[in-house]
Amino acid sequence: MLPLPADIFTEPADVSPDGLANLGPLRRLAGVWQADKGIDINPKAEGPERRTFIEHIRMDPIDPQANGPQLLYGLRYHIHINTPEEDITFHDQVGYWLWEPATGLIMQTLAIPRGQVLLASGKAGPDDKEISVTAKRGDTAYGICSTRLSGTSVPH
């Protein structure tokens, strides 16, 4: 663990502006990706519904982000999924993949326009080829938050 400065507001002075070069294990994810062979199996009362989908992912490096002494490099991403038979969006997701080189902390944020958000975390080294993050519903540090389904009661 790196020592903290005298105050928590002091930002690092020697920040490299090259976000792509400093992404560590996230570097391989940068770019635009597309696949047209995804299969979604959706549970239905009459039995599972199976649909093919087309997935488009764009991951762009962002400028380094200082949070007091913490320095993060990352990717802003957008995932858009539709089906061959429909022009409307099947799934849409935006967020960030972040890496803190000093500690190896990996974070993923995401938002889905059905009232769902997530902040997940894990650890990874600069050359790791596998990344794993976790979050727990209701956790205030690394958690998942969702709206209630329409028609359900909301506590006061």
Q: Where are the domains of the chain?
A: 20-36+52-146
Q: How far is residue 82 CA from its own chain's centroid?
A: 20
Q: What is the pTM of this model?
A: 0.83
3-class state of residue 27 by DSSP? helix
Give residues with Cβ within 8 angstroms of 11, minimum separation 6: 66, 68, 69, 71
Per-residue pLDDT tens for 49-84? 998 999 999 999 999 999 888 999 999 999 999 998
| The predicted structure's pLDDT at residue 3 | 59
User: Does the pLDDT at position 98 exceed 80?
Assistant: yes
| The predicted structure's pLDDT at residue 156 | 45
Summarize the confidence of residues 3-25 as an average pLDDT. Answer: 78
Q: What DSSP line would sit under 120-154, residue for residue? A: EEEE--TT-S----B-EET-SSSEEEEPPPTTS--
Question: Which of 126, 128, 127, 145 lies closest to 136, judged by CA?
Answer: 145
Give helix then strand counts, H and E, for the chain: 0, 9
What distance in Å separates the CA atoms of residue 20 and residue 47, rounded to the nearest whole number? 45
What distance in Å separates the CA atoms of residue 73 and residue 86, rounded to the nearest whole number? 36
Neighbours of 132 (CB within 10 A): 11
3-class state of residue 77 by DSSP? strand
Please give the share of the chain, as a percent, with pLDDT higher than 70: 92
Report phi then psi at 17, rounded to 5: -75, -10
Rg (CA), the chain: 19
